[in-house]
Structure formats: C-alpha cells, structure tokens
C-alpha cells in the first residue's frame, strides 16, 4: 500500500477511523466492505481507503471522513456501505442520513469543521488524527513529520532546543504540570554517574478510568511521539529511550512497534541518525496494568524489572532515575507537542493558552454528556465551552451538576464554577487538578457521596500498599463513605473523613496517595449538604444510594393510568409487592430490598422513590 500510495493519485480518500473505540465498533469490517464495494463499482483507481487514528468523536463511531471535502459520516454499519458507495463515491451525492445532527439542531451537518464538536478544537498533539494512516511513516513525513527532527539535529544546539521548549511554556501533560524545559535543563545539567549515559522515558501508562488521550495519540500518530523523544534525547544527551505502555493497549503497542521499525529502517532511530552522527534508540516496555506504575518512580522500577512501587523523592529522576542515571520522563502528550514547538517556534506556541498554561490540552470527555470523546482545546477555555459547545450539553436536558477532572485523584468542580478557565492553576485552586485530562461530567442524578466512594474504591484498589496513609487511609475513607451511603454514617464521620483526607494528602509517599483524598475533599467542600442529608435524614438527594431510598406506589396513578398492570409485582425479586390487575399495588416496606427494579419497570411513573 505504502508504495502504491506514493505514486498513485486518488480522487477520493476515505479516512476510516481505526482508533480502539471505532475498531471495537467494527470499523475494520467497514473498511473491508468499502474496499469490496469500491472494487465492485470499478472505482479502485479513483478511491482509496485509509485507516487513521482516533478522530476523538468516539460517541459517534465508527467514523468515516471523506476527503477532499471533510465530509463526516458517523455510526456506520456494514450494511450501509453499498448505499454510501453508490450514492457518494459513484454518483457524487452526499448521503445525509449518515451525517451527524447536533442535539440542538434538526439538519445534519455534512462538513466535519462545521460540527460544533470539532469547531472549537485546536489540534497540536492530535494534529494528524484522521489525516494519516498511522502505520505508514511516509504519510507522517508528508505532514511535516520529522521536519523538526532535522531542524533540531542540524540547526540547533542542545541549549537552543531547551531554550525553545522553555520559552514555549510547555508544561508536563501527565498531570503535575512541571515546566518541560526546566526538567530537560535539569537532566542535561545532571552529571551522569557510573559510566555515563542518560535516559528518555515516555510515560504511556494511562490508567485513569475514562481517560484515553495517550492511547489515542499513540494510535493516531506514533511518529509524533518518537520524533519528540529523539529531539528530547538530543537536548539532554540521552542515548536510549523507553516507551512504557500499558499492555491493555494492544493497538497502541502494535502501531508504535510498527512506527519504531519504520523509523529505524529510515535511519531516523538507531546509530548515526540521518547521517548527523547522533545515536538514539527506543524500546517499548509494556506495563502489567498497575495504576501506580504511572507514577514516575514506580514506572522506572517497573522498567528496571523490579516491584512497581514508588520510592521517596528526592532524588528526582532527573538526578537519579533509571538504573541510577539521570532520566527525563515525560508524558505521551508532552512528547507529541515537542516537534510542533520546534517546527513553528516557541513564540507561536506561547501565543496559545493563558499566562501560566500555554498551548493546548487533550481532554477525554466522558460521563453524562452528549458528545463523548477526545477533544484538544487551547488552555484557558472555559468548562462551559467544553461541556456545552463541544460536548453538546447534558443528555435528556438534565441539569449539569459537577465535573470531575484529573482522573480518580482529581476533584469535583461544581456547577457554580462552570466558567472556570481550564489551566493548571485554576484547577488546583478549585481543589482538583489537570491530571492527565480526564473529564467526567455528572448530571443532577449523580450522588456526590457515591461518586467520592466510587473514586475511593478505585484508588483503594490501585494503592500499591507501600505507605501507611495510602494503603490504610484509602481503606478507612472507603469504609466511612460506604457506611454513609448505606445510611449508617454518624455525625463524627464527616470530621474524621476530613481529618483523614487532609492527613493523607499531607503524608502519603507518592502522587497517587497525595491526591487520592481529592474527590472526598472537593465533594466535602462543594456538596457538604449531600453528606449531611445522608447522615442526618438518611436520604440520598439524587436517589442513587439505594439503601436509603424508600419506594412507594401511588395507588391513584397505578390504577388510573397503569390499570394495575402488575409488571412491578412480577419483577419484584423479594415478593414485596402485592396487588392484582386493575388494582392498586402496594410495596411491603419490611420485605423490600430496595433493588429499584419496580421503579425501573413501571411505565406509568406510579412507583415513587423518596
């Protein structure tokens, strides 16, 4: 294909999304069906099908973008393909029934750029998504891939590279937001002990529930990451690099391996890169799926083949990292930003974003939101713009309640702060954090105590168990939260919870433990009334904590509207409902196990929850 693509001009390029989301929605089958249909119509010399990385609009997968024209087709099925090929690719008529219709509008929007989800995005890290086949290095090169590398290797000194990165204001995209240029400078300055050598590490151990930007970048544009790492290696004087990827990302691992092989074949990796005399190579290390291995010291221990648990810092990896050598660890997204900064200059990059947070950030938008997906937006954009303009608002017209940012250790930001500009400082100020960029949107039906309990159960499960506050503290907090959501909380629990949270934040060993109390602290800060309701009146305002719910049947609605349909009685698991057809049904409170099935099955709204 690669060879063919080089010398063959096609009239149409069908960009089939082959990110993990769309692949699991059978996008490869669609690709095959497209190729088959195209052949059937004799169009194989005019139309080509290109598998690309994730487009970000995963909610709408599988996605097909037709170029030229940027025509956006979504939620395709194999059976739609013959019609689509005949109408659009043969006859040239756009097929509106496969197009996307934004929730507020009635008419489908044919062109990708006109769709609100895409319109407000600024693509830097995801610049090649949907535009190249990630398994073909030539397509990456055509999109200016490795151009920055040439510049860095031939025109720039290491100091010049570092200065450029420093001036750009790029900060670590993995969560903590440490200035990247400064980190590189520290590693460059660090004296390498025992025999020299420094290392570059790319952290792709993305473990936050619902976050998938690193995966998407590795799947859509692995060469951007490789190029960034080689530039970084030149800047700090490293000779070897590692990409640490979760083994749960098979597609990312596969695409990255292909990309590494291709780069090596082209002499863009290995010894004497592009004949400039610079040597550097990259290995993939696959993680076994421990969340804590995303923490840099635990990650390094894992690469070294030791138990993946964090160690105290200092010494920082910049001083003593992998095998005791100075090591520069950056996140996938950070590395992907580097070539663009070198190519277009620090000034251009620093022109995007806010005073302290420059450039763009990729967020994964999940939860109670219409447009689930991956978005890259300039720093400083408001939560409102992300949630309503890009995300398309809350499904079912429900009210927005809070957004949880920064993964399981982030905090919940309430509705009142919806105009908060997104940058490192303001998120921290609000009690949350940037994290790797997960955004979980919650609507009015979400119980904040339950949410805190959910995230605590995650951090408790993923705590490595090395230090006391994290190991025992997350367990203690989880116990208390479980108690509260079961209606067994006491007045003292809130105080104890607060004490625990503050103490754990203060005294845990690594980032995982230090941030684990964030969901508790922010929900206590913004939604204290919900905690109090659970404890004092034994009520869950959102009716999520089922143990606190009381189910009753309104006899009037049951008889008059539902005519005593009897569905609830037949579905009741504990035989708590009595009644006959055309009669009012009654729930026996003593027998009710509060499973909520009657509420779910009643079509007439006769079952009330209180």
User: Residue 513 and residue 508: Cα distance in Å, rounded?
Assistant: 5
Whether the CA torsion 77, 80, 85, 89 is positive or negative: it is negative
Nearer to other proteins, 34 or 553 (CB): 34
Least distance (Å) between residue 139 CB and other proteins: 6
CB crowding 297-306: b at 16 or more within 10 Å, else e? bbbbbbbeee
Nearer to other proteins, 274 or 609 (CB): 274
Nearer to other proteins, 150 or 350 (CB): 150
Least distance (Å) between residue 484 CB and other proteins: 15
User: Residue 157 and residue 439: Cα distance in Å, rounded?
Assistant: 39
User: Residue 437 and residue 440: Cα distance in Å, rounded?
Assistant: 10
Least distance (Å) between residue 268 CB and other proteins: 7
Encoded tokens for 221: 């544009």
Q: Are 57 and 371 in contact (CB under 8 A)?
A: yes
Least distance (Å) between residue 111 CB and other proteins: 9
Strand duo 360-367 + 438-443: pairing: parallel
Least distance (Å) between residue 396 CB and other proteins: 34
From 122, 207, 185, 138, select the one nearest 408 (Cα to Cα). 207
Least distance (Å) between residue 95 CB and other proteins: 12
The alpha carbon of 194 is separated from its chain's Cα centroid by a whole number of angstroms, namely 39
Least distance (Å) between residue 457 CB and other proteins: 11
Least distance (Å) between residue 137 CB and other proteins: 8
Q: By CB neighbour count within 10 A (0-12 exposed, 13-18 middle, 19+ buried), where does 429 fall?
A: exposed
Q: Are 80 and 47 in contact (CB under 8 A)?
A: no
Nearer to other proteins, 27 or 463 (CB): 463
Whether the CA torsion 417, 420, 422, 425 is positive or negative: it is negative
Least distance (Å) between residue 13 CB and other proteins: 5
From 443, 445, 441, 454, select the one nearest 408 (Cα to Cα). 454
User: Residue 226 and residue 149: Cα distance in Å, rounded?
Assistant: 10
Residue 412 three-state SS:
strand
Nearer to other proteins, 46 or 80 (CB): 46
Least distance (Å) between residue 306 CB and other proteins: 9
User: Residue 31 and residue 601: Cα distance in Å, rounded?
Assistant: 40
**Helix ranges restricted to H, 463-544:** 468-485, 491-507, 511-515, 518-526, 528-532
Q: What angle do CA 287, 289, 294 make, to 5 degrees?
A: 70
Encoded tokens for 160: 């010049």
Nearer to other proteins, 105 or 272 (CB): 272
Nearer to other proteins, 463 or 523 (CB): 463
Least distance (Å) between residue 558 CB and other proteins: 43
């Amino acid at each position: 294909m690669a060879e063919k693509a080089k010398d063959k001009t096609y009239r149409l390029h069908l960009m089939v999304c082959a990110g993990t989301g769309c692949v699991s929605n059978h996008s490869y089958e669609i690709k095959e069906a497209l190729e088959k249909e195209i052949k059937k119509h004799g169009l194989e010399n005019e139309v080509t099908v290109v598998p690309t990385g994730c487009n970000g609009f995963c909610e709408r997968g599988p996605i097909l973008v037709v170029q030229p024209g940027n025509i956006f087709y979504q939620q395709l099925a194999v059976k739609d393909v013959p019609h689509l090929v005949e109408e659009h690719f043969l006859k040239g008529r756009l097929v509106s029934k496969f197009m996307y219709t934004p929730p507020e509008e009635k008419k489908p929007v044919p062109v990708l750029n006109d769709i609100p989800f895409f319109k407000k995005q600024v693509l830097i890290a995801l610049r090649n998504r949907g535009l190249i086949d990630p398994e073909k290095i030539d397509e990456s090169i055509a999109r200016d891939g490795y151009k920055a590398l040439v510049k860095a290797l031939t025109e720039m000194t290491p100091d010049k590279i570092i200065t450029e990165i420093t001036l750009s204001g790029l900060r670590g995209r993995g969560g903590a937001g440490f200035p990247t240029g400064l980190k590189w400078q520290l590693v460059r300055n660090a004296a390498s002990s025992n025999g020299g050598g420094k290392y570059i590490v790319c952290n792709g151990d993305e473990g936050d529930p619902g976050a998938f930007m690193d995966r998407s970048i590795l799947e859509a544009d692995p060469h951007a990451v490789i190029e960034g790492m080689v530039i970084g290696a030149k800047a700090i004087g490293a000779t070897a690099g590692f990409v640490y990827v979760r083994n749960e990302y098979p597609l990312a691992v596969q695409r990255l391996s292909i990309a590494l092989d291709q780069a090596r074949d082209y002499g863009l990796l290995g010894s004497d890169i592009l004949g400039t005399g610079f040597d550097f190579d990259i290995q993939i290390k696959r993680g076994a799926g421990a969340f804590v291995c995303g923490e840099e010291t635990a990650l390094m221990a894992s690469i070294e083949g030791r138990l993946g648990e964090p160690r105290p810092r200092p010494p920082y990896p910049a001083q003593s990292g992998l095998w005791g050598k100075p090591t520069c660890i950056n996140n996938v997204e950070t590395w992907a930003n580097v070539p663009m900064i070198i190519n277009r200059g620090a000034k251009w990059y620093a022109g995007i974003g806010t005073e302290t947070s420059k450039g763009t950030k990729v967020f994964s938008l999940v939860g109670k939101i219409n447009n689930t997906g991956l978005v890259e937006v300039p720093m400083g954009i408001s939560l409102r713009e992300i949630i309503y303009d890009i995300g398309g608002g809350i499904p079912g017209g429900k009210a927005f309640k809070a957004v949880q940012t920064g993964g399981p250790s982030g905090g919940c930001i309430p509705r009142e702060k919806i105009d908060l500009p997104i940058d490192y400082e303001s998120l921290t100020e609000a009690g949350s954090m940037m994290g790797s960029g997960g955004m979980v949107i919650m609507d009015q039906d979400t119980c904040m105590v339950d949410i805190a309990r959910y995230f605590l159960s995650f951090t408790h499960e993923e705590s490595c168990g090395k230090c006391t506050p994290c190991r025992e503290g997350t367990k203690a907090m989880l116990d208390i939260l479980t108690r509260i959501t079961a209606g067994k909380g006491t007045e003292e629990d809130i105080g104890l919870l607060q004490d625990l949270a503050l103490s754990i934040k203060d005294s845990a060993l690594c980032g995982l433990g230090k941030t684990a109390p964030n969901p508790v602290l922010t929900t206590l800060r913004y939604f204290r009334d919900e905690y109090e309701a659970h404890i004092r009146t034994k009520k869950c305002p959102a009716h999520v904590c089922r143990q606190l719910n009381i189910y009753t049947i309104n006899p009037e609605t049951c008889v008059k509207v539902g005519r005593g349909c009897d569905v609830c009685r037949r579905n009741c698991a504990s035989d708590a409902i009595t009644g006959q057809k055309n009669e009012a049904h009654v729930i026996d409170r003593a027998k009710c196990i509060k499973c909520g099935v009657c509420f779910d099955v009643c079509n007439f709204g006769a079952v009330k929850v209180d």
